[in-house]
Amino acid sequence: MAVLKKPDLETLNSKTQEVFRRLRKHHPDATIELTFKSPLELLIATILSAQCTDVKVNEVTPKLFAKFKRPQDYVRRPVTEIEEIIKPTGFFRNKAKNIRGAVAKILAEYDGQVPRKMEELITLPGVGRKTANVILGNAFNTPGLPVDTHVTRLVNRIGLTWQTDAVKIEHELCAMLPKKNWTMFSHTLIFHGRRICNARKPACSICPITDLCDYFQENFKDGRAT
């Protein structure tokens, strides 16, 4: 196995931007896969997506959004009604509690509108930086770089950062990319992680960035993936 040296900052910046350029070309359809029609719907869908697939969330939310049409419905109806609908997403009691708490705070402090600033979003129950960045980038077109398990795995595997903490990864990546690319960089990595660079057995033979990837360089000396 080859032992690779950590590149200098300038080289790392160039590598990160080239990774994005190639993956963006390879996954031109990369976008958020949660279905929503408003910032509030995206907030709720993102809370539900914790430890759950987007596919499953998208199966659940139509029924939820049809029954809870207004923000007030989430606080006036029994929480058990929310729990019953979202049960297939897992951890449904805690998620229902967070949804109701977040909506209650939005109604009480933000005139019923999902706040548009990171520092305000992360005060809502169930909302951390990842969820806040999802909302900023996809509901308000404000650049944000959500770091989920796919992003964390890929940036470490490729060798764009050696951090494991999501917040530190976010800050490092944001420093290496133009602000306008933050949201799409996350989408593109997530698509690549789901379609090609999966956790158990990455499909290196069809990956467009093997020459830039530390994992490939360390494990395939002859330049060929098995």
On the CB side of 214, how many CA atoms lie within 13 Å of its CA? Answer: 18
Can 130 be counted among the known catalytic residues? yes
The catalytic position among 15, 95, 148, 214 is 148
Number of helices (H), then strands (E), belonging to the chain: the values are: 12, 0
DSSP for 96-154, written as a single string: HHHHHHHHHHHHHHSTTS---SHHHHTTSTT--HHHHHHHHHHHS--------HHHHHH
97 is catalytic: no
Residue 129's alpha-carbon distances to 76, 91, 176, in angstroms, are 28, 20, 19
Catalytic residue among 15, 95, 130, 214: 130
Residues annotated catalytic, as ranges: 130, 148
